[in-house]
Amino acid sequence: MVYPVNRRWEGELIMKIVKVSERFPYPGPRFKRLGPQSGEEFKAFMLKIFKDTYGDDFTKNNNIILMIDLDGTPGYGSSFLEEGFGGLIREGVPYKLLNSLKIKTDEEPELADEIKEYIDDEYKKKS
């Protein structure tokens, strides 16, 4: 589910929150052929949010920041996170846009750095 936090006023930023646990309460394996609530499904879900928010070419609504709230699940496998976030680079989401994501994870703070590594690693492969 995506929640707008602020409304847009002249020149202000809008933050949208994606609460992962509402759509993926039990994050699963990397690929959907291996089980439900996969990283592959999460990647498709996030790609739709990015395109709905920033347009198909990812250049619109630069005043919107996405916050991904990872709290509220039993945990995340590294394959789920790599496919879900590193996979967005492979799908063409710009590095700058992914780098601007805000990651909320009070329950497992180390996940923010792990996700950043997956994004950075995939970006380096493409460069």
Between CA 35 and CA 33 the distance in angstroms is 6
Between CA 118 and CA 23 the distance in angstroms is 22
Q: Provide the pLDDT for residue 76.
A: 98
Q: Provide the pLDDT for residue 3.
A: 47
Q: Provide the pLDDT for residue 63.
A: 86
Mind listing the pLDDT tens digit for each residue in 77-98?
A: 999 999 999 999 999 999 999 9
Q: Provide the pLDDT for residue 25.
A: 98
First-to-last CA distance in the chain?
32
Taking 50 as the pLDDT cut, the residues of the chain under it are 1-9
SS3 of residue 74 by DSSP: coil
Q: Provide the pLDDT for residue 105.
A: 96
SS3 of residue 111 by DSSP: helix
Q: Provide the pLDDT for residue 74.
A: 98
Would you list the DSSP string of 76-107?
--HHHHIIIIIHHHHTT--HHHHHT-EEE-SS
Cross-sheet strand order for the sheet of 2-4 = 2-4, 14-19, 64-69, 102-104
Pairing mode, if any, of strands 14-19 and 2-4?
A: antiparallel
The kind and range of the H/E element at 3 are: strand 2-4
Q: Provide the pLDDT for residue 15.
A: 87
